[in-house]
Amino acid sequence: MKTLTEEEVKTLLDPSRVITAIEEAFRNRYLDTLIPIRTQMPVAHGVLLIMPCYDRREQGLGMKLVTVCEAAPGSEGKLHATYLVLNPATGEPVVVMPATYLTELRTVATSA
């Protein structure tokens, strides 16, 4: 499994292509995409959010994991987002990456 840094994610993704893909998905009403309701699970000092997605046409499978926790002294903050890409045929993890930039791009695309 490959692990990407936030900088690598920014380098690899073309914002205009990401925004176009998201806009196209909205236009198609996500007909080829399965996006179940976000799962929320309470944890010791906050909540874990699980957001899976499967695109049948593109054969893309992944999930965003977000933890929102009370900020502990010395911690990097209270919100952490990670995206995991899976092989849709085998379920094997392929790539794990920070999801902060991905979330920013999606927010821009949905507000445009």
Residue 18 vs residues 4, 43, 49, 95, 103: alpha-carbon distances, Å: 17, 32, 23, 18, 11
CA distance 25 to 37: 17
- pLDDT of 24-35, one tens digit each? 877 877 788 888
In this predicted structure, the answer to whether residue 23 has a pLDDT above a threshold of 90 is no
- pLDDT of 71-105, one tens digit each? 666 677 788 999 999 999 999 999 999 999 998 88
pLDDT of 62 reads 97
Residue 39 vs residues 13, 22, 51, 57, 76: alpha-carbon distances, Å: 27, 22, 7, 24, 24
Going along the chain from its start, the domains and CATH numbers come out as: 2-111 (3.30.1780.10)
pTM, entire model: 0.86
Closest C-alpha to 66, from 102, 91, 93, 15 = 102
